Structure 1
Amino acid sequence: MNAFTFSVNISYQAYLNHYSGAASSVVVVTDNGIRLQLPASRFRPFLSQIGVKGRFRVEVNAQNKIENIYQIS
């Protein structure tokens, strides 16, 4: 299993645009410089009135399918 850490700073309105279908994915750059395309819906549990902000860790299996996403700060 591989794990990647990254920062996210998406405003509430920008997230709603993503989640409502304007864009179904979020592209992030990991701390190691790797670009990941993640489904916007996976960030829904972390949405607050200020948006989605913080440091995250995503774990993927051997087939590069998301196993878990954690907010680490």
Structure 2
Amino acid sequence: MQSYFFTLSVKYDFCEQFYQPGINTVVITSDDGKRIQLPVTNLRPHVSPIGIQGRFRLIIDDSNKIKSFEKIT
């Protein structure tokens, strides 16, 4: 398994796009510079009235399947 850490700071107005038809994935860049394509369904639970703010950890298995996506701070 691999872990990736990243910081997100996304305004609420931009987060509204996560709920539009046809928007299924986003690309994020981890702290080590790796670009990761992530389904927006993983981000939706973290949207607040100010958007998405904080540090996150993504854990994937050896088949690149998401095992865990969580806010850590």
Q: TM-score, normalised by structure 1?
A: 0.90
Instruction: Give the structure 1 partner of residue 5 of structure 2.
Output: 5
5+ residue gaps, structure 1: none
Do 2:57 and 2:71's aligned partners in 1 also have CA atoms closer than 8 Å? yes
CA drift of 1:53 comes to: 1.1
Q: TM-score, normalised by structure 2?
A: 0.90
| In 1, Cα distance between equivalents of 2:29 and 2:43 | 15
CA drift of 1:45 comes to: 1.4
CA drift of 1:21 comes to: 2.6
CA drift of 1:36 comes to: 0.4
Moved over 3 A (4+): none
Higher helix share: 1
Instruction: Give the structure 2 partner of residue 40 of structure 1.
Output: 40
| In 2, Cα distance between equivalents of 1:28 and 1:16 | 17
Query: What is the aligned residue count?
Result: 73
